[in-house]
Amino acid sequence: MPIDRIRFKNSNELAHILFGFAESPARLKLYNHFAGTFLLPARKLDEYFLPVGRKIARSELAEIKRRYGLSLQATMHRALDLGLVTERRFRSFRELMAEKG
């Protein structure tokens, strides 16, 4: 398993411990949100995505992955949660990643 997935999984497990174990969709979303926030604080992500709507290069996403140990997909999801990218841009990114495998 890649190290970025291990870090996210472990942070997600920490959320289970902190917030209690439950498998509801809302609780699972909370665990994932906690993991993303824990691994990549908003102020750090702002450095790459501001001003809002700025097109971020794949090399910058790779740098975030290297520096913070968060997958490209999780990074873009975090940016979506913070309103730094639109739902449309996030979907386009996911489609591109699916094509590349």
Each domain of the chain, given as residue ranges in start order, spans 3-100
Query: Contact, 48 vs 66, CB < 8 A?
Result: no
Residue 53 has pLDDT above 80, yes or no: no
Look at residues 21, 20, 11, 15 and name the one whose alpha carbon lies nearest to residue 68.
Answer: 11
pLDDT grade, residue 27 (50/70/90)? very high
pLDDT of amino acid 51: 82
pLDDT of amino acid 101: 66
Place of tokens 């472990």: 10
Task: Name 75's Cβ contacts closer than 8 Å, sequence gap at least 6.
Answer: 40, 45, 61, 64, 65, 68
pTM (2 d.p.) = 0.83
